[in-house]
Structure 1
């Protein structure tokens, strides 16, 4: 009978993962908070207001993050266009409450926080004003990995005395290999990056690929390496673990209530998994309960903008659409009452990306690719209409694509015109003083002038509302 069974032999359980299992053993793993920027951008189209962020900031500052990514990317555009709040004030508000954790912004190289290249003087002025407002770390990337587009921004950050975090845009194509990524990172280290960020914006990276790439970067670079993955493809947590084994120095995370789906892995899971190991960061798990409760309330508040992706989208391994781009595509198609066409659009994204020379789908190439794919699907006639931005891309005004642009797209976009690929900044006249003259009395600060220079179409209405004009 069952109560007379023989007693099972004693089993000696392991006490924890040994130092030998990790490269970089003995160095606590660092974590970077992305809830206020990429997390909310991926989950609900960047609609969280500064007012809703403030009650969380003191508690988030106490967690022990290496940095807090809270500005740049789409936050600037959305604040001005939809939230009607001054994005510059957000940085100053954060600085009132976040006393210990460095504030980070994502800067799109020559494109700053916009969707095209801006003149070098505007790049320098923008970085200076961002640093003065309170940005400590500038995560700089170029969507095409054309580092000529990062030179002005790198120089401006050095001039401002702030920290440069370089970025490798991970994606899968015939033109992207571990050797290419490592060389690009080495070039950025020589340019002045003091930290290297690997961005898997679409959740494509496999655990094996992570181990290989992080190992290669750690071997080649003298600076720390951090990894950023989205959970879209269902592999991010496994990928992070292999990166830890390979010696990665830091990971981008969300708290659990803002994690998964097209967002990022949860910090709590890794704190539990690393407890007692040679890389234990010794961050207290108890502090996350109230933080998660408040983020859950915010997710309910912004439910109308919430991504419809539940669980995993293995299709991302094919279309390579990043989380933020996916939620925006969903939102736009829903607004047009065409959400059922999303699978067709995502299939077309893959074809358009190949035609564009396989750019990583980071801003602004992701927006160009997504918009053109949507147009192709809805018109039923590929490239019968080509956006102004994609024409400029074909002319080389965004930099050098990783691979050749297809003859079909070139012909539809440019006709007989032959593209050249100069450094985009060299093709632009200084723009700050011209913007100051154009905006006139609507702008009362240099920040206002920059807002106008970046978004002249809707900045005037924003500035009139700001000053009650």
Structure 2
């Protein structure tokens, strides 16, 4: 999305969302999109938005020791980046590591603290915590949370990047964290890929302090829809905005999405299979587009299945940028070369794996659990 399209609705946004916890509007993939595709300066975007929206805290996504890149950068680069981001308008830094590698995560948290920003140390949620056969269980998450708290993070973030956090799991996980850390602010980020994001809010907000939402037309693989959420909470102690305040802003983005429709991936509804393949919301539409570009568009069902198998081959890893790219690259490699799970195991020494897969095994992305 072009900078001008953000700026055209900025003043209305500053009014409609004046009670919002924060406005996530920078970091993460901003640099990937703004520079190579739009030929825009992401720093200029940040400064212009900050000027037009002075009343809402700005939040950015920081990939720990990776910054906004896909592999680890020198620590001094991360510290300098955070210092500049704070000076140019970022208030809250949601810091995560794609493998929940605490050492990688701590680099980002320390950089934010030194820059004077608000550090939100984040644990990435993967798989079904209630399934006793999965390694990512309550004990695992509580261990990661304890280390994040000990880093000195101001806020705890729970990042459900695929939208697979279920109500009972949310109640157990967030309730356990709240019981152990009664004064710790908890922020839950989920995606609505399966279409279940809005109902998840009720159990989540019984224990957490903040949740993420997206304008209606930008929801689905993004965050739960803002307008239905505001209606759901209307009249309760959790009311934060009247739905009528959101109308103009939501209409604007609905119209604007039509402008970008030639770039749509063709995902027209929820994908409940996300509970099986766990493709993150931020990757789902990209992967559909990439599959089409590689002539695999008609094999999308096979690609999703291969994504599950690729994840298992890599050791059942946490999947979010950049590790999700590793799994996606391996899945497309398997489909395009007609390789099964067993084929990869048997022919591994002869296969020319994608570079991202090699970098993962070389440890350049971090240490998996």
Aligned to 1:53: 6
1:268 counterpart (216, 219, 227): 227
State the alpha-carbon separation in 2 of the partners of residues 300 and 258 from structure 1: 11
Q: Is the Cα–Cα contact under 8 Å of residues 26 and 46 in structure 2 kept in the other structure?
A: yes
- Quote the offset at 1:323 in angstroms: 1.3
State the alpha-carbon separation in 1 of the partners of residues 122 and 110 from structure 2: 16
State the alpha-carbon separation in 2 of the partners of residues 205 and 303 from structure 1: 30
Q: Which has the larger radius of gyration?
A: 1
1:159 equivalent to 2:114? Answer yes
Q: Is the Cα–Cα contact under 8 Å of residues 207 and 235 in structure 1 kept in the other structure?
A: no
Q: Is the Cα–Cα contact under 8 Å of residues 356 and 401 in structure 1 kept in the other structure?
A: no
1:385 equivalent to 2:352? Answer yes
- Quote the offset at 1:237 in angstroms: 1.8
Secondary structure of residue in 2 paired with 1:82: coil
Q: Could you list the per-position Cα deviations for residues 157-214 of structure 1 after superposition, in whole angstroms to 9, with x for gaps in the alignment? A: 1111110011111111622012211221121111021111111111111111111111
Secondary structure of residue in 2 paired with 1:398: coil
Q: Which runs of 5+ in 1 are unaligned?
A: 1-47, 403-469
Q: Which runs of 5+ in 2 are unaligned?
A: 129-133
- Quote the offset at 1:95 in angstroms: 0.8
1:73 equivalent to 2:65? Answer no
2:127 counterpart (172, 183, 190): 172
Q: Is the Cα–Cα contact under 8 Å of residues 79 and 115 in structure 2 kept in the other structure?
A: no
- Quote the offset at 1:129 in angstroms: 1.4
1:396 equivalent to 2:363? Answer yes
1:212 equivalent to 2:179? Answer no
Secondary structure of residue in 1 paired with 2:239: coil
> What's the TM-score once normalised by structure 2's chain length?
0.92
State the alpha-carbon separation in 2 of the partners of residues 115 and 195 from structure 1: 24
State the alpha-carbon separation in 1 of the partners of residues 62 and 125 from structure 2: 17
RMSD, aligned CA: 1.5
Aligned to 2:287: 329
State the alpha-carbon separation in 1 of the partners of residues 235 and 338 from structure 2: 58
- Quote the offset at 1:82 in angstroms: 0.7
State the alpha-carbon separation in 2 of the partners of residues 304 and 178 from structure 1: 43
Corresponding residue pairs, total: 352
Question: What is the 5 A alignment of 1:80-119?
Answer: 80-119=35-74
1:288 counterpart (246, 265, 284): 246
